[in-house]
Amino acid sequence: MPYDYDALYQEQRHALGEPTQAFVDFFEKYAQSSAQVLDVGCGQGRDALFIARLGHQVTGVDVSPAGIEQLVTDAKNENLAISGIVADLHDYTPDSSFDVVVIDRTLHMLDAEPRLGVLRRILPAVNSGGYVLIADEKSNLPAMREVFTADDAAWASVKDTGGFLFMQKKS
């Protein structure tokens, strides 16, 4: 972890602020109820908590034990359907399937090949008709697009602008 987010989270609750607006916009229009959502690099849960408040079941994954502990505590206090997993993304592979995967400014913290490896390991866990929502550095998006193109499933672009890549699994 290049930056010590665990120390930041121990010092400051909700350190990263509000949910990312593009994700808020997506979920406000998302018609499925009680979706299974994976939040990769969830930190303290700024996106996960918002998504769970809409009635979805969220699994948050982060390398920071403090972030996951705070996420789970907040979820319990609000009676939200959130589970937390402390895991290094270099080694993480989902063990269930999801309707939506959220990756909010996490992958850019990894070197190029590990970044793409994380994405490759996550794609098979997305249900048919499901989505992968990525916010990242614009310069990283072309290689991520190639991962979707090379995947065995068919993917369609839903949003591809301004550092956002939202893809839907067609098959």
| Tokens found for residue 122 | 């996550």
Q: How do 126-135 and 164-169 pair as beta strands?
A: antiparallel
79 found inside a domain: yes
159 found inside a domain: no
pTM: 0.94
| Tokens found for residue 94 | 């989902």
How many domains in the chain?
Answer: 1
Per-residue pLDDT for the chain (171 aa), expressed as one digit of tens each? Answer: 457 887 888 888 887 788 999 999 999 999 999 999 999 999 999 999 999 999 999 999 999 999 999 999 999 999 999 999 999 999 999 999 999 999 999 999 899 999 999 999 999 999 999 999 999 999 999 999 999 999 999 999 999 999 999 999 997
146 found inside a domain: no
Nearest residue to 143 via CA among 112, 114, 107: 112
4 found inside a domain: no
Residue 107 sits in a domain whose CATH number is 3.40.50.150
**The Cα angle at residue 116 between residues 57 and 167, in degrees rounded to 5:** 50
Cβ atoms of 141 and 165 closer than 8 Å = yes
Cβ atoms of 47 and 27 closer than 8 Å = no
